[in-house]
Amino acid sequence: MVNFDYQTPTRLIFGRGVVSEKLASVMNQYGKRVLITYGGGSIKRTAPGHDKSLYDLVKDTLTDKQVFELGGIQPNPKFNPSVLDGVRMCQDNDIDVILAVGGGSVLDCTKAIAGVAGTLKTKVTDNVEEAWDIVCGRKPTTAAVPIVDIITMAATGSEYDMGGVISRTETNDKLAYFSKLVFPAVSFIDPTYTFTLPVKQTLAGVSDCINHIMESYFCGDHIDMNDAFMEGAVKSLVKNVKIVLEDPQNYNARAEIFYATTLGCNGIYCLGNSPSGWPMHAMEHALSAYYDITHGEGLAIVTPRWMKHILDHSTGELHDQVVERIEKFGKNVFGAENAEASIKAIHDFYRNIGIPMTLPEVGIDDSRLAEMAKHVADNEGLDKAWAPLLEQDILEIFKACMK
């Protein structure tokens, strides 16, 4: 068991009806000047079982506040214009608290807005590059505007962590912004807001979360209790995603999925585990950077090929570890009998719920595999991962993803 230093101060308010029940009292803990951030129009539609849209519910709850709005935040949220616009609105209007309403991208963007607005001493319109330095981590975040969120998609776990992914189109940058100061103060999670989520997004959220867990499970030093926790979470996701595909408004299944994804990325599943290097994410980042595919689908495609590659190519003590990990995972999640069956079980699971499981199915041909493999090898440090991967290994894994 390795040492750890863990803290997640966020308050989670979870369940059916919690927004109308508690949003007003939570927001009264802050000042009068509120910036609401959101994405496209989904929060303006009325979800099943609700008598008004989430947008209207929020606005009706905040009638005693001075409310400003930043809408139109896109998936893969952009530094320019979204983060810059949000910071400017915070500065111009002396915002006391930001209320993010939407999915992980809205919240990721809000974290960057909150950290930059809290830290930057001068007008952002005059200091775009300093704002970017804060997002990049070249300048430390020293303060942040408090964040409350209502998260409407079960996927990234941004509602319970301190990071977000921000893209800057003009420089082709896409990077993670982190600061302990941007943990949401309060996250509202009502699973009924996922009842009408498109199937593709439900599946991508589940595979994203399963992969977050697997990146932590497959490591050298691990403990019994974490194994049980992670196997149990994946088993729950496997069971409950099948239920919601049949019955999208099954509350308990939606709730179990949301609960598992909320805990998915803040580390609580794997406290005391040794680092793994997150190899599947590293490879998928190249796929989605080069081809803009859906992150969760890319992860699902890479996962069984990575498992097979390290099973076939590891040696000595590492090989014993690899076999033990793959066997235990497959046995306890899928009832698989050995390592090969374990890999087949996760592949078949993804295929059977409807995730495209080859690169050609998501529009990627073999023309740039070598270029992507070199990019990953040069930039991701996978030669230092638990099961080390060199450029040739990465290329072979990408090739295996073709069919």
- The residues that touch a second copy, with contacts defined as CB under 8 A, are 1-18, 22, 223-225, 227-229, 231-233, 235-236, 239-240, 251-252, 255-256, 259-260, 268, 271-272
Shortest Cβ distance from residue 222 to a second copy (Å)?
Answer: 10
Q: Which is nearer to a second copy, 334 or 398 (CB)?
A: 334
Shortest Cβ distance from residue 100 to a second copy (Å)?
Answer: 18
Shortest Cβ distance from residue 273 to a second copy (Å)?
Answer: 11
Between the alpha carbon of residue 215 and those of residues 35, 119, 132, 207, 241, the distances in Å are 35, 33, 29, 12, 20
Residue 167 contacts residue 76 (beta carbons within 8 Å) = yes
C-alpha 335/C-alpha 239 separation (Å) is: 13
Q: Which is nearer to a second copy, 18 or 87 (CB)?
A: 18
Shortest Cβ distance from residue 225 to a second copy (Å)?
Answer: 4
- Reported residue count of the chain is 403
Q: Which is nearer to a second copy, 99 or 260 (CB)?
A: 260
Q: Which is nearer to a second copy, 77 or 157 (CB)?
A: 157
C-alpha 264/C-alpha 244 separation (Å) is: 19
Cα–Cα nearest to 329, from 320, 317, 338:
338
Q: Which two tokens stand for residue 180?
A: 């302990």
Q: Which two tokens stand for residue 223?
A: 């403990």
Q: Which is nearer to a second copy, 42 or 266 (CB)?
A: 266
Q: Are strands 163-168 and 186-189 parallel, antiparallel or unpaired?
A: unpaired
CA angle 319, 322, 328 (to 5 degrees): 140
Q: Which is nearer to a second copy, 48 or 72 (CB)?
A: 48
C-alpha 390/C-alpha 376 separation (Å) is: 9
Q: Which is nearer to a second copy, 70 or 234 (CB)?
A: 234
Shortest Cβ distance from residue 223 to a second copy (Å)?
Answer: 5
Cα–Cα nearest to 292, from 354, 355, 361, 362:
362
Shortest Cβ distance from residue 36 to a second copy (Å)?
Answer: 22
Shortest Cβ distance from residue 250 to a second copy (Å)?
Answer: 11
CA angle 45, 192, 230 (to 5 degrees): 135
Q: Which two tokens stand for residue 179?
A: 């600061």
